[in-house]
Amino acid sequence: MTQFSWTLQSFRQILKSCIANKDLLTGKSLHTIYLKSLIPSSTYLSNHFILLYSKCNLLTTAHHAFNQTHEPNVFSFNALIAAYAKESLIHVARHLFDQIPQPDLVSFNTLINAYADRGDTLSALSLFREMREMGLVMDGFTFSGVITACCNHVGLIRQLHSLAFSSGFDSYVSVKNSLLTYYSKNGILEEAEMVFNGMGEEVRDEVSWNSMIVAYGQHKRGLKALALYRDMVHRGFEIDMFTLASVLTTFSCVEDLSGGLQFHAKAIKTGFNKNRHVGSGLIDMYAKCGAGMSESRKVFEEICGSDLVVWNTMISGYAQNKELSVEALECFRQMQRAGYWPDDCSFVCVISACSNLSSPSQGKQFHALAMKSEIPSNQISVNNALVTMYSKCGNLQDARKLFHRMPEHNTVTLNSIIAGYAQHGIGTESLNLFEQMLAASIAPTSITLVSILSACAHTGRVEEGKKYFSMMKDVFGIEPEAEHYSCMIDLLGRAGKLSEAERLIDTMPFSPGSAAWAALLGACRKYGNMELAEKAANQFLQLEPTNAVPYVMLASMYSAARKWEEAARIRKLMRDRGIRKKPGCSWIELNKRVHVFVAEDNSHPRIKEIQMYLDEMFVKMKRAGYVPDVRWAFVKDDETGEQEKEIMLAHHSEKLAVAFGLLFTKHGEPLLVVKNLRICGDCHNAIKFMSAIARRKITVRDAYRFHCFEDGRCSCGDYW
């Protein structure tokens, strides 16, 4: 007997160190010896084997060890439940939980936390309720877990807060910390501050400080976050990777590159730049602060042993720097080759890159892959990204189909589909969905209102636009921002209400940005108001001295008004200042390859055929009544004759891309062309004729919206 107890004791000790060190080899041989030996079966020992396998991610082995346990107790169940929860196999975890004769505090806490991880608020809450009804003892973990599970519902968090207060659980720092975090994540910085300030010096731990730094960062209070960080240093807190990562999110949020650079230096000094959390924070900071992806790439290569999140940070960085969208797809494939399984976040990023590229064939591929991959957790964000992808690829039907098939919608889903309809110029549908949203008391966001106002602007709904704009602050509780004002100026200007637009820009509560002046300038061009155009162009220039848009607009307006000297003066100014017009560029996908066309660029291998086709087409078009509008030819000098201007017009990138599509696709197949700038007025007219003559549906997505040409008409109704 003494011999057995000695053996048991030494077994326990070795096994414990195996668990601590994840020493699977020793642990397994210990298990074999244990099963073959005469040691009486001990539930205690068996439980520790379950723990060991769970820690080493050997789920089946852990379950096997559980089955071999003669008299499993609560502890055995809890160990196995934790193992399944870790692998997000929540149903098995639940099944095991239901088999426990008398679940204890740990059983409940484990399952609540598992539900919290999955974002399953209802299940977590019902367990919590069950605990209270049973009169079971709770602890700080129970509360933090259930608060995490309620992360998106402010109302519930408030209730839990008062419950924690009345039952004394708010004395746990962890409970206060999670309240602080989730108040902030729900947009209520004031409440987060109150929790933080209410804690007092002695209670606050480093977690509280880090959480508050992140809270300030999320609300774009860069200075406050930094002040808090300095305070931490001053008080002698050790600056670890948690703090570094927290401060880095602040720089990403407020786009403070110089601050980010300073902390990169700090990270290198402490070696934390190789840490995955800090490293991905750095990658994200460089991507969001406009440092380009080359800096991000450098950090990426220094990180010791990357993981899925680090890869996703890279993919998202490429996708957010829109011109690097092709690299985003490449990065996704590199990640797959490196042996990582994409998760929902990987798909969201890569699908958004496909939206930027308007590449329906690749977008569909990722859609199929995402379905095959059975993404864990909620797929809603993947579906949201897909709705946008289909819509931006010109395929509103599939976007709408997916929208109706989705099991669940949230604000982003609605914003996406509303924006889709707005960009396609289907204002009625946008407004309908918006009214449905309000009726279902889903709160619109500032983005919803940008979409709604631009839907009104695209379709000439002046009164409705004004109505919604005036409702913003009082009814929806959304403070109008620069974007909303720009939409309103666009709305009024396009409708010809130039003086009203001017009044709005003059009475804005903050100084108008370049977008506002650009909207006004566009309206002036449409209605030929030279005087106001000069004012708008000058204001624009002061804000963005290197932008070619105001020069080009003014010059073409002077030409159109036959003020040749003025036009020449502007062009000379532009030359002298070294400002160049951003070249117009259009692309079209054919057989899964993207063909790019730039005006006056003859590098495409089939350019001869394309131009011959265009020449023939122009003859037919002119016979049908097409008259080239040479005002849209941007000439570099003043000796250019009308004939030459006409030829220049014929070489605009969107015409080349459309001709290429008509020439090399099957008859009847609809075309999708994307342009980086706004479509030119002459091309808009020309493509109408082309759609009628070639009997094709031709969709052009420009920088503003979709133009869907069919049978000689455009879906925008020439209101653009």
Give the tokens for residue 366: 């990722």
Least separation in angstroms between CB 68 and DNA: 30
Q: Which CB atom, from 76 or from 384, has the smaller least distance to DNA? A: 384
User: How far lies 14's CA from each of 5, 24, 47, in Å?
Assistant: 14, 12, 14
- 317: amino acid identity, one letter: G
Residue closer to DNA, measured from CB, 214 or 579: 214
**How crowded is residue 87: how many other Cβ atoms within 10 Å of its Cβ?**
13
Distance CA 275, CA 277 (A): 6
- How near is the Cβ of 210 to DNA at its closest, in Å? 4
Query: String of b and e for 290-326 (b: at least 16 CB within 10 Å)?
Result: eeebebbbebbeebeebeeebbbbbbbbbbbbeebbe
Nearer to DNA, 285 or 656 (CB): 285
Residue indicated by tokens 């539900």: 115
SS3 477: coil
Minimum distance between the CB of residue 189 and DNA, rounded to whole angstroms? 15
Cα-based angle 266, 269, 274 (whole degrees, multiple of 5): 90
**Nearest to DNA of 69, 430 (CB atom):** 430
CB of 626 to DNA, least distance (A): 30
Neighbours of 543 (CB within 10 A): 16
The alpha helices in 641-701, defined as continuous H runs, are 642-650, 653-664, 681-694
Shortest distance (Å) from residue 382 CB to DNA = 6
The Cα 450–Cα 472 span in angstroms is 11
- The CB-of-669 to DNA minimum distance in angstroms stands at 26
Name the helix (H) or strand (E) containing 177. helix 173-185
Give me the least distance between CB of 224 and DNA, in Å please: 16
Tell me the pairing of strands 585-590 and 706-710: unpaired
- Helix (H, G, I), strand (E, B), or coil: what is residue 713? strand
What letters, b where the CB count within 10 A reaches 16 and e where it falls short, cover 140-166?
bbbbbbbbbbbbeebebbbebbeebee
Task: CB nearer to DNA: give 372 or 562.
Answer: 372
3-state secondary structure at position 595: strand
Our CB check for DNA shows the closer of 27 and 342 to be: 342
Please say which residue, 346 or 559, places its beta carbon nearer to DNA: 346
By beta-carbon proximity to DNA, the closer residue of 343 and 502 is 343
Here the tokens at position 320 are 């957010």
Pick 414 or 690: Cβ nearer DNA? 414
Closest distance between DNA and the C-beta of residue 118, in Å?
Answer: 11
Q: Helix, strand, coil proportions of the chain in percent (round to 5)?
A: 70, 5, 25
Instruction: Name the residue type at position 307.
Output: D
Q: How far is the CB of 545 from DNA (least distance, A)?
A: 21
In angstroms, what is the minimal distance from the CB of 110 to DNA?
10
Please give the Cα distance from 138 to 131 (Å, whole number): 8
**Nearest of 231, 269, 228 to residue 246 by alpha carbon:** 228
Backbone angles phi, psi at 190, to 5 degrees: -60, -45
Q: Provide, rounded to whole angstroms, the least separation between the CB of residue 268 and DNA.
A: 16
Number of Cβ within a 10 Å radius of residue 133:
8
Over the Cα atoms of the chain, what is R_g?
A: 31
Q: 40 with 34: CB under 8 angstroms? A: no
Least Å from the CB of residue 421 to DNA: 11
Nearer to DNA, 242 or 618 (CB): 242
To DNA, the closest distance from the beta carbon of 72 in angstroms equals 25
Residue placing its CB nearer to DNA in the complex, 435 or 616: 435
Size of the chain, expressed as the number of residues it contains? 720
Q: How far is CA 433 from the centre of its chain?
A: 22
Answer whether 410's CB lies under 8 Å from 692's CB.
Answer: no
> Alpha helix locations (H) across 22-153?
24-36, 43-55, 59-68, 74-86, 90-99, 105-118, 121-134, 140-149
Nearer to DNA, 367 or 655 (CB): 367
β-pair partners for 594: 589
Which CB atom, from 206 or from 646, has the smaller least distance to DNA?
206
Please give the structure tokens belonging to residue 47: 């439980």
> In this structure, are residues 349 and 316 in contact, taking their beta carbons and an 8 Å threshold?
yes
Min CB(632)–DNA separation in Å: 22
Closer residue to DNA in complex, CB, 121/691 = 121
Q: How far is the CB of 538 from DNA (least distance, A)?
A: 21
The residue among 461 and 645 lying less far from DNA, judged by its C-beta, is 461
Decide if 147 contacts 179 (C-beta within 8 A): yes
Is 14 or 233 the residue whose CB approaches DNA more closely?
Answer: 233
Q: List the structure tokens of 678.
A: 């706004």
Q: Shortest distance, CB of residue 643 to DNA, whole angstroms?
A: 37
